[in-house]
Structure 1
Amino acid sequence: MKAPVTTAGGVPYVVGLDLQKARDAVWMSGYHFIKPHDALGRGRTQLMLSNWQVCDQNPGPGKIDKETTVKLGVVRKDEDCPSVPLPTEKPTAPDGVMPYLIGRSVNVVREALRDDVHVDADDLKSGRPIIVENHWKVCTQDPPAGAPLPDDKIRVGAVKFEEQCPAGKAG
């Protein structure tokens, strides 16, 4: 069992801990603004904190202002941490320009763009219904990134995260 590495009066190093222990260690060190996020960019909510492990933290260990939010990137315990940071910020459509959506979770895309446009999502493999949207990643988008955002709807083609996008499709 890993224990947090403490720093004299600062934020402890909590990478590798389960989220419950990490939150407790950060809280007990006097930092009460703690924000976990899905390190795989899938937009999943962490309900059972002990089922998630910390992959990265920002800021790292050390003394910082107590009002600083400590961000913890987490994955489920049965998942590997990403080798490179994945985008976790929601895509936006500033000035009516279509953002790059490839590789993002369908639920993140729908939630991020819900005020701008309707999102139609289709399974690219076999026409399966997309019910649990955070299990699906975007492989195609219409219109493409950089194009004007339409007034009515956009289309995304998706596969489950553990699947490869079909040949000739990005993601």
Structure 2
Amino acid sequence: MPARLRHLSAAVSLFAALTSSGCALLGSGSMPNVVGMDLKEARSKADTAGFSNVHVHDASGGGRVPIRDRDWIVCFQSPAPGTKGGDNVDLGVVRDNDQCPDKDQSGPAPKAAAGTMPDLRGTSLAAAKNALPAGTVITPTDLYGHAVMVETHWKICTETPAPGAPLGTGQKVALGVVKLGDDCPKG
């Protein structure tokens, strides 16, 4: 048998052995469960399964952008584990020293009816600023006494005026905030 056919025959035999033993092959088409993995490993697992178009967002709602994949943990994924086919994946992530939120906070802060204060609790300071009308005077105060600097790193716990209250142009709004990953103080 010529050398070329021997190599081809060996490759076919190896392929048959791998598939009959239940080994997963690249591009198997079934989305793995990547929740809890660091982002680098999650991207690799998704790509190996044939899901090569990975979109990533900050699940905390802070709008932060992952720069180093190893520093981020996957909290939410779409499509669900076991989904077959397709190549698009959306991963909700947080920094590795943050806790995953109970639900994905990546959507925009809620808008209230014109002239009404929206309920901003649980959103990031950056998202809240986008939800309030232009000209609103916002005063954030860390409820644990830290200096508030980077808007995307803070979560809103309290707000004055209260949600649903009238909100006029140029009105002052006081927001009690904590660092993302911290719990709001009780009481």
TM-score by length of 2: 0.66
Report the CA distance shift for 1:66/1:51 in structure 2 as closer, same or farther (over 3 A).
same
Whether 1:16 aligns to 2:40 is no
Report the CA distance shift for 1:78/1:128 in structure 2 as closer, same or farther (over 3 A).
closer
Q: Which position in structure 1 is the counterpart of 2:16? A: none
Whether 1:42 aligns to 2:62 is yes
Q: Which position in structure 1 is the counterpart of 2:15? A: none
Whether the aligned pair in 2 keeps the contact of 1:141 and 1:154 (CA below 8 Å) is no
Report the CA distance shift for 1:126/1:91 in structure 2 as closer, same or farther (over 3 A).
closer
Q: What's the offset of the Cα at 1:46?
A: 1.0
Q: What's the offset of the Cα at 1:120?
A: 0.7
Q: Which position in structure 2 is the counterpart of 1:151? A: 169
TM-score by length of 1: 0.71
Whether the aligned pair in 1 keeps the contact of 2:109 and 2:128 (CA below 8 Å) is yes
Whether the aligned pair in 2 keeps the contact of 1:106 and 1:121 (CA below 8 Å) is no
Whether the aligned pair in 1 keeps the contact of 2:27 and 2:50 (CA below 8 Å) is no
- What amino acid maps onto 2:124 in structure 1? S
Q: Residues of 2 paired with 1:134 and 1:109: CA distance?
A: 10
Q: Say how many residue pairs are matched.
A: 159
Q: Residues of 2 paired with 1:34 and 1:98: CA distance?
A: 36
Q: Mind listing any 5+ residue stretches in structure 1 that lack a counterpart? A: 1-5
Greater CA radius of gyration, 1 or 2?
2
Deviations 1:69-110 (A, max 9, x none): 42212222233333x225321113264243210122212212
- What amino acid maps onto 2:159 in structure 1? Q
SS in 2 for 1:73: strand
- What amino acid maps onto 1:70 in structure 2? V
Q: Mind listing any 5+ residue stretches in structure 2 that lack a counterpart? A: 1-25
Q: What's the offset of the Cα at 1:138?
A: 1.6
Whether the aligned pair in 1 keeps the contact of 2:29 and 2:84 (CA below 8 Å) is no
Whether the aligned pair in 1 keeps the contact of 2:29 and 2:86 (CA below 8 Å) is no
Whether 1:138 aligns to 2:160 is no
Q: Residues of 1 paired with 2:186 and 2:81: CA distance?
A: 42
Q: Residues of 2 paired with 1:91 and 1:61: CA distance?
A: 28
Calculate the aligned-residue CA RMSD, in Å.
3.1
Provide the identity percentage. 32
Please, which of 119, 140, 144 is the counterpart of residue 100 of structure 1?
Answer: 119
Q: Which position in structure 2 is the counterpart of 1:3? A: none
